[in-house]
Amino acid sequence: MKKGVAQSSRNTDDDMTRVIHWFPIKALVHSRFVLMLAAFLIVLGVIEIQVHNLQTSIELLDKSLHSINSRKLRDSDTSPFPMVPGKGGDDSQELLVIYNRVPKTGSTSFTGIAYDLCKGNNFNVLHVNTTKSNHTKNDHVNSNYVMSVQDQMRYILNATHWNSRLPAFHHGHFAFIDFAAFGSVRKPMFINIIRRPLDRLISFYFFVRYGDDFRPSLVRHRMDNKETFDECVKRKGYDCHPDRLWIQVPYFCGHAEECWKPGSRWALEQAKYNMIHRYLLVGVTEELEEFIALLEATLPSMFKGALNLYRTGKRSHLRKTSRKDHPSEETLEFFRQNPVWQMEEEFYNFVLENFHAVKQRSLGEDNSGRVAALERQFTYEKVRPR
């Protein structure tokens, strides 16, 4: 009996000993957990305060920027062309204008103005020479105006990454190049000038025989041929073939093979599309002064002073063909019946109508009655928040 009681007493003492040893361990673990939890909550609170402060700073910055931009818009209301490249900002330093010039349209006169302006207006002029190209199949269509696909890519990379030669005005006798089709992010501004199709062909016909007043001593490759244009048409000669009219449509159409097939309706429609969507401005030889006035008003960083230079300098009288005979009515009727002439004439009239619409919206007259660009016709108002 006493032995059982003693055994029970020892068991009780052991249990008590285990409880005594376990309790401080549990208390220690609990206190550490509480400390860790408290530390976590403190850190979380600090982070929340920092996030709140950051959000507040961002909101204040947004309000400040909006206020600054609003003031800039209000302040610019009285200045002409406040957002045009050349009036501040970086756009004017990346400006790339490409003039894929059609032969015998007054292109030499116009390009000469760019060369005269480049130094004073701080831009670069580059001639793109494609005379080594030879890729069209039609005997009557000049093959020098199209590039191989690899040359197109080379040109696009050079034109868009030659930063030391930006801003730039590129000119040359080549067809329209679609920069986007080659994955280029930078897109140039294309401009051009076209001429009455038959007038252009006749001018070229006599130019290769008699030259011009620009370089009168230069020997032309047809100088030994004194045949008139009417005589050439009667014998169905090469230089006066109706297919030789097919130049302005393919220039705007591009490098696709179909573009260079004389009389292609698809090429004509593509040329119209590109003229509207891919060109900044297309003028006509017969109204060159107005074309230059529009360019100066639109891109003053590059063409400031162009109109005055055209009026007062020698460029407006540059490169006139030494001799040019008017065709007979019989010759005119022959071309009028030809589908190639009809399509080229349709394209010319399409461009002319669009150019006249642009002129009407953009040009007026100065006090002396000469053509002049209109002042800005829009303002900013009701800009909110104040």
In the block, which residue shows the tokens 């047809």?
Answer: 222
Is 171 annotated as catalytic?
yes
Which of 135, 161, 171, 221 is labelled catalytic?
171
User: Are 193 and 101 contacting, i.e. CB atoms less than 8 angstroms apart?
Assistant: yes
AA identity, residue 84: V
In the block, which residue shows the tokens 């038959």?
Answer: 198
Helix (H/G/I), strand (E/B), else coil: 372 = strand
Which of 30, 140, 173, 221 is labelled catalytic?
173
**Distance between CA atoms of residues 100 and 253, nearest Å:** 12
Is 277 annotated as catalytic?
no
In the block, which residue shows the tokens 């530390």?
Answer: 39
Helix then strand then coil, in percent of the chain rounded to 5, is: 60, 10, 35
User: In terms of Cα–Cα distance, which of 260, 250, 267, 245 is closest to 335?
Assistant: 245
Tallying the residues shown for the chain, one arrives at 386
**Distance between CA atoms of residues 85 and 299, nearest Å:** 7
User: Are 347 and 249 contacting, i.e. CB atoms less than 8 angstroms apart?
Assistant: yes
**Distance between CA atoms of residues 251 and 130, nearest Å:** 14
Which segments within 149-295 are labelled E, that is strand? 168-172, 189-194, 279-284
- What count of other Cβ atoms lies within 10 Å of the Cβ of residue 54? 10
Burial class (CB in 10 A: 0-12, 13-18, 19+), 183: exposed
Start-to-end CA distance of the chain, whole Å, equals 100
**Distance between CA atoms of residues 260 and 176, nearest Å:** 12
Which residues are known catalytic residues? 171, 173
